[in-house]
């Protein structure tokens, strides 16, 4: 009888411990959801404040430079170079955040934000545009890049938020509805010294790696190998030529805990301010 009671007591204790553990996990999840919602609310307020401070203007300019590509077979390229540039006066934003270096707009997504740059690639993972703590972070340029003198590969990062703020809507590029509209294959930037249009040529998700995050190359051969690597990964054929004379823009975010979502585009049109 005593052995039976002991077994029952042990069984009851195990059940109680299991319930307690599940309750603690539940409380932790609730707390995380609360903080997630608070961060989202703060981010939305910042986005609203930013949108009130600036106008994103579409402009025509006679001095726009076209990046010629003799091998270009995609007729869409010739339509894209007719598109208007965007121009954003960053001076107001710099008074709000002196780290502001540009504005990015990705067609067919929610991405229409200023981007910043600081001395590392970790600060804006947990800081919003107002430099206050926020796990939503902000859109930021790789600290190694020079936005005024473009490297071979210019890299911009942002969190892939579930509510589609920051780079959360970058995943939409994998949807057939996005891919079916060729007008979406464009990224536009405005910086202090230049407005530019970039044509997307590769989109993919991949287990976390850093091999697409190189910004400079020791030889044309190394750069060509890099182009072949990132173009070969695309999950949609844009039928777009890229060669060693092209400048590349890379957008990087998390697809999930184990994978990255990546978009690559090439510079096709710009004007210097």
Annotated active-site residue in 254, 262, 263, 268:
254
Residues forming a β-bridge with 199? 186, 266
Q: How far, CA to CA in Å, does 148 sit from each of 47, 177, 191? A: 25, 35, 8
Neighbours of 217 (CB within 10 A): 17
Residue with tokens 């029952």: 8
* Neighbour count for residue 171 (Cβ, 10 Å): 19
- Whether 14 sits among the annotated catalytic residues: the reply is no
Q: How far apart are CA 117 and CA 64, in angstroms?
A: 26
- Which residues are CB-contacts of 111 (< 8 A; sequence separation ≥ 6)? 104, 105, 139, 158, 167, 169, 170
Positions annotated as catalytic residues are 254
């Amino acid at each position: 009888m005593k052995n039976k009671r002991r077994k029952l007591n042990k069984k009851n204790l195990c059940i109680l411990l299991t319930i307690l553990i599940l309750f603690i996990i539940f409380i932790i999840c609730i707390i995380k959801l609360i903080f997630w919602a608070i961060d989202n609310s703060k981010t939305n307020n910042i986005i609203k404040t930013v949108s009130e401070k600036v106008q994103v203007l579409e402009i025509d300019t006679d001095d726009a430079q076209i990046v010629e590509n003799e091998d270009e077979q995609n007729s869409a390229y010739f339509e894209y170079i007719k598109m208007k540039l965007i121009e954003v006066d960053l001076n107001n934003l710099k008074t709000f955040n002196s780290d502001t270096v540009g504005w990015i707009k990705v067609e067919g997504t929610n991405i229409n934000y200023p981007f910043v740059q600081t001395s590392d690639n970790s600060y804006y993972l947990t800081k919003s545009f107002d430099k206050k703590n926020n796990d939503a972070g902000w859109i930021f340029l790789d600290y190694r890049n020079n936005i005024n003198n473009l490297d071979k590969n210019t890299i911009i990062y942002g969190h892939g938020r579930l509510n589609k703020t920051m780079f959360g809507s970058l995943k939409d590029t994998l949807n057939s509805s996005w891919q079916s509209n060729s007008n979406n294959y464009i990224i536009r930037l405005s910086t202090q010294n230049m407005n530019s249009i970039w044509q997307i040529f590769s989109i993919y998700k991949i287990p976390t790696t850093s091999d697409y995050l190189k910004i400079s190359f020791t030889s044309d051969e190394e750069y060509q190998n890099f182009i072949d690597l990132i173009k070969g990964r695309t999950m949609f054929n844009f039928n777009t030529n890229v060669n060693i004379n092209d400048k590349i823009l890379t957008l990087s975010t998390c697809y999930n805990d184990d994978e990255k979502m990546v978009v690559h585009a090439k510079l096709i049109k710009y004007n210097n301010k």
